[in-house]
Structure 1
Amino acid sequence: PWPTVAFTTATTGDSFTFVAYGDSRDGSQAARDLSAQMKLWSFDLALHSGDITLSGQYDEYQNQYFAIYSDTIRSIPFFTSLGNHDYGANPPQPYLDVFYLPENAPAGDREEYYSFNWGNAHFIALDTNQSYAPGSAQYNWLVNDLENTHQYWKFVFFHHPPYSSSAHGSDLNVRNTLGPVFEKYHVALVFTGHDHDYERTWPMLNGAVSTAWDGGVVYVVTGGGGAPLYPAGADDFTAYSSSRYHFVRVQVAGCKLSLQAIDINGNVFDAYELSRCWTQVNDDAFGLDDPSGQTPPYQGEDGFEVAVFKGQLYVGMEADNLYGARVWRTKAGVTIARSQEDWEQAVDDAFGDVNNNDHIDSLEPFNGYLYASTAMRDENRDGTEVWRSSTGDAGTWSQVNDDGFGTNYNENFKDMAVFTVDGSPWLCGGTMNKLVGAQVWCTDGSLKDGGPKLSWVQKNRDGFGDARNIKIWSTGVFKGHLYVGVERYITGAHQYLPGTVWRTDGTPEDTTRWQWEQVFTATANSRVDIIGPFNGYLYIGFDGGNGTEVWRSSTGDAGTWSQVNDDGFGDAN
């Protein structure tokens, strides 16, 4: 009778372990010893990067693979890819007959390349023995597969290495064709074989050493599965290399992974860790001292807005009532901030008016300048201000609007956006005005009376004709229209009303204003936020009473919106 065998199906969680190895082929004693060592380590699945056999014959699969790994493969799934030695015939019929693999490649290529999910990861097996050139069936399938997976991690395995400094060396066709695809779709690790040694690269981007932060991909040659070893080499891309029989063990734990290279005697001879977790990259409150003596300090500090301008990341914030609105930015040359040392202040004194400018309400590049708008501390101030700088440097900012656009009832200026009408770009944003209703103000950048202030034009009727539309919270540009998300509130009665979305295509209503139409009314609450365009849809969000609701439309027209999430994403809180 057959023995009882226990196995575990693929996890849907985000913690699991897998091993990867290749070039086991000859059924050598080294392959058997490595298999025995592998059994001493726990793992959930295994990847084989090709050259499973010497010449791809049926009896070789039995003698050089199944007989060696039978104790393991009866309870743990092994996912294989095709090496050049596995092509005893074309197509490699014995391989296709003895393995049962995912069949999601195009007809005629099924099981020769494929993909599958495990936990929070997406795995892809490729066949670099057949065409992967742009436009080929395999290339098109790969791009489509990567475009349509939403798994947190992406791992790819195949035979011919794009980076190797051993006997066969780098396959430049693989590197130049597939490397940009892996980089574009944020593949974390690529496992290959062909060279019978171990080699791990630094994160590679555009053919050069980079960092994982910048999107570099790590390539691992794991060809020490049992075939005769090759000498290990080294190149500029080499982080570590060694000529020894081995396998690679990868532990995935949510947003982190750790890799170990383990030799035939169980020694861990190389290790690599990668974290894609959220990491704080500044000191609390950007390291500002706390003159108020609060313990803990800065309980109310907020970062309100971010923007990228001339290669630097800007953060607009509130630094409490003692500091007011401030702007921080990454230092020149810093592509990714990692600590407080990478930041500097661009605006450090609320533009000289702490009493009025409570926080930065919006940041937006426009016509070679970075614009920053402010919000008042309360309604008993001077009105929202808009400032700009051509460099972003401290001391180079100038105010470009009249306070509050002429009234202190305009308390802030939210979510500036660039909107083009008849080929002419405008910088637009929206105010909160509790007296007459929200206003949309725009400028084309022309100077007012010779400058430095600009000419601003109100582009809507006050409150869109209803003073209860008191505040514009967000804006977005989608398919030739400017959209604004509006809060509705009856000031005297302190009563909130369902929020709305309005839009314009820039068609004139009169000599200064544009025509606007209401295209959405929320089911509850007081405001709607424009989330933004994505894959041909405009997304909006609001609190519907049972948690956040997300809606979308492919046209933005009234009556075409549909909810695309469960209320509160399943949590009404």
Structure 2
Amino acid sequence: MSPFVRGRLAALSLCAATAQAHLSLRALPLLLAAAVAPPLGAQAEPLAPSAFVVKPYLQIGRNLSPTTLHLLWHTPDESADWAVETRPTSSAAWTRAGAPQRTRVAVAGVTPRWVLNAALTGLPAGGEFEYRLLRNDHPVFSAKALAPKAAEQTYRFVAFGDVGAGTAEQKAMALRAWLSKPDLVVVPGDIVYEYGLVSEYDKNFWPTYNADEPSGSGVPLMRRVPMFTVPGNHDIDNRDLDRFPDGLAYYFFWDQPLNGPTGTEGGPIVPKLTANETNRRQFLAAAGDAYPRMANYSFDYGNTHWTVLDSNPYVDWTNKELQAWVAHDLASATQATWRIVTFHHPGFNSSNEHLEQQHMRLLAPIFEAGKVDLVLSGHLHNYQRTFPMTFKVQKNGAGTLLMGGKDGTRVRGRVVNGRWTLDKNFDGETQTKPQGVIYVVTGAGGKELYDVDQNDAPDSWQPFTKTFVSNVHSLTIVDVKAQSLHLQQVTAEGRELDAFTITK
């Protein structure tokens, strides 16, 4: 038996073990296909493990375009000269990117590291390209990747929230995401559990989504296509750096736009940090200009305008300036065919869990005026879809603020009453032009499921809910074309749970 076959059989054995414990055996043919397929995006040159703390992964960067991406990687706290080169095909000459920027992450509780960031420019819009890293002029890593799509190109994205828990279900859903061959990946919050720590990323996130080859334990997804993220409560709600000095790692590891509303600590958008002088200084040095602005941002990908919002309850979304920013952002997307908004806490939710957190309903009239097509959330560890709907907030327009915590001063959310109008003629098959906004919860990406008992109890659902699946983990696959958007919700085995099409 050849070494190649032995290696693949070993990978298959690992996949089968995961499947037996947590998946239907029907998934095995798909896992086998992943195990024997050429590992797109895997490294090409041998490399001592100590050269990387985290291997290269793609980011949309501060100013995404169809010909640009950013490449990040983490190295030990040591001196080395790094360079990045790209080429459109294996027969073309390598072109060197600009010198990478470096940020030292040195906070208490974890070993210091460097986060390096190189801009990749001149990419073939929507096409495949190669990149490689050189350490002290020696090639040490290479991969194939996909450049962002231009406005006239179709694309596929996958979405799954509430992921970085280190579970077998998380790994199974990661493999399904890889097999779906996306161009773009979005995580609508709760990137890692439980406190947004550097150590939690290292244990439960990078090994799953940035592995060397696809298997039952991880996939090379992030070195192949860009992933962007939405801050959830487990990512940035914890502001106690004295208790968790490696917390708020969201601001260390992601390179995303900084075009959202500005805010200062203690204001309506940014809560105060609890940190002694040393912990505050170390955090701010590692976060750089990402803190606090990267919690809200927007960008264009293909023919779609994406708006990302911080829905943590500490944000006061009754604030007129914040509402005006959202309205202006959507109104300015004049060249976009599709408008998608994503945030963590859903405003319209049928789960008994977190039913009281309705504060994001306050923005529904703004979404409607801004012609939003789809809203993606997480937070509930299941899948939910509303009918196309419009919502008129009750007369006072603010709802009832809910407080909690030991001292009764922690904001838990808002109950926001109002009147909804549902488009029940839309079926996503023959009637594909919705009257209103469709809200989707895709929070079954890896953490334990919520409200399984409600799966077969439609009388427990809210009237605006069209589909509710809480008894199986799943993710969202969306194919975006010039005049149509097709959504599928699928399990780890690829079984379809829901599907609909929107047309312009």
Partners of 1:203 and 1:218 within 8 A in 2: yes
* Aligned counterpart, 1:252: 480
TM-score w.r.t. structure 1 length?
A: 0.46
Q: Equivalences for 1:359-370 in 2 at 5 Å?
A: none
Aligned partners of 1:247 and 1:214: how far apart in 2? 22
Aligned partners of 1:100 and 1:61: how far apart in 2? 15
* Aligned counterpart, 1:37: 176
**Equivalent position amino acid for 2:190 in 1:** D
Kindly state the Cα deviation for residue 8 of structure 1 after the two structures are TM-superposed.
Answer: 2.2
**Equivalent position amino acid for 1:152 in 2:** T
Work out whether 1:59 is the aligned partner of 2:199: yes
Work out whether 1:242 is the aligned partner of 2:382: no
Query: Structure 1 residues 154 and 96 mapped into 2: Cα distance closer, same or farther (>3 Å)?
Result: same
Q: Equivalences for 1:37-116 in 2 at 5 Å?
A: 37-54=176-193, 55-70=195-210, 71-87=220-236, 89-90=238-239, 93-108=248-263, 109-116=292-299
**Equivalent position amino acid for 1:251 in 2:** D
- Deviations along 1:77-110, one digit per CA (max 9) or x if unpaired, are 1111111111263396311111111111134442
Aligned partners of 2:382 and 2:259: how far apart in 1? 31
Kindly state the Cα deviation for residue 63 of structure 1 after the two structures are TM-superposed.
Answer: 1.7
**Equivalent position amino acid for 1:58 in 2:** V
CA RMSD of aligned residues (A): 1.9
Query: Structure 1 residues 122 and 178 mapped into 2: Cα distance closer, same or farther (>3 Å)?
Result: same
**Equivalent position amino acid for 1:223 in 2:** G
Partners of 2:386 and 2:466 within 8 A in 1: yes
* Aligned counterpart, 1:218: 438
Kindly state the Cα deviation for residue 261 of structure 1 after the two structures are TM-superposed.
Answer: 0.2
Q: Sequence identity of aligned pairs in percent?
A: 32
Work out whether 1:149 is the aligned partner of 2:333: yes
Range 101-110 or range 195-204, more displaced: 101-110
Query: Structure 1 residues 139 and 62 mapped into 2: Cα distance closer, same or farther (>3 Å)?
Result: farther
- Deviations along 1:234-293, one digit per CA (max 9) or x if unpaired, are 3211111111111100001111010000111111111011111xxxxxxxxxxxxxxxxx
* Aligned counterpart, 1:447: none
Count of aligned residue pairs for this structure pair: 276
**Equivalent position amino acid for 1:60 in 2:** E
Task: Please state whether the residue corresponding to 1:7 is helix, strand or coil.
Answer: strand
* Aligned counterpart, 1:25: 164
Q: Equivalences for 1:94-493 in 2 at 5 Å?
A: 94-108=249-263, 109-129=292-312, 130-135=314-319, 137-150=321-334, 151-170=336-355, 173-206=358-391, 207-210=420-423, 213=433, 215-232=435-452, 233=454, 234-243=461-470, 244-276=472-504
Aligned partners of 2:342 and 2:477: how far apart in 1? 14
Task: Please state whether the residue corresponding to 1:32 is helix, strand or coil.
Answer: helix
Partners of 2:235 and 2:248 within 8 A in 1: no
TM-score w.r.t. structure 2 length?
A: 0.52
Kindly state the Cα deviation for residue 132 of structure 1 after the two structures are TM-superposed.
Answer: 4.5
Kindly state the Cα deviation for residue 5 of structure 1 after the two structures are TM-superposed.
Answer: 1.5
| Larger relative contact order, structure 1 or 2 (CA cutoff 8 Å, min sep 6) | 2
Partners of 2:341 and 2:374 within 8 A in 1: yes
Task: Please state whether the residue corresponding to 2:328 is helix, strand or coil.
Answer: helix
Task: Please state whether the residue corresponding to 2:361 is helix, strand or coil.
Answer: helix
Partners of 1:19 and 1:247 within 8 A in 2: yes
Q: From the two aligned structures, give the one with the greater helix fraction.
A: 2
Q: From the two aligned structures, give the one with the greater strand fraction.
A: 1
